[in-house]
Amino acid sequence: MARLKVFSTGTCPICEKTKHLLQKWGIDYEEVRVDLDMEGRREFSEKTNGARTVPQITIDGVWIGGFSELTEMHMDDKLDELME
């Protein structure tokens, strides 16, 4: 099971961009489609304090934010530290 989880929908271009970057960076992830998975939607709401936008990302169950926060962490080398 991947440590990083991406909560997404099938119609979100930023979700696709997020998944593409994770693949490029060699980071395994689990995708939860909140538009198709009711249990995933509940988890999404609980983990993100009721966030209303996607993508939202968790690492080891801890919410880190969305695409902007993910790329900022990567640029600051904090993402590599969390994934070690």
Residue 29 has pLDDT above 90, yes or no: yes
pLDDT in tens, 56-84: 999 999 999 999 999 999 999 998 888 87
Instruction: Kindly indicate the confidence band of residue 1, based on its pLDDT and cuts at 50, 70 and 90.
Output: low
pLDDT of residue 72: 95
pLDDT of residue 2: 77
Angstrom distances, CA of residue 83 to CA of 9, 16, 22, 34: 24, 21, 12, 24
- Which residues, 6 or more positions from 50, have their beta carbon under 8 angstroms from its beta carbon? none
Of 32 and 83, more confident: 32
Handedness of CA 33, 63, 5, 67 (dihedral sign): positive
Task: Provide CATH code, domain 4-66.
Answer: 3.40.30.10
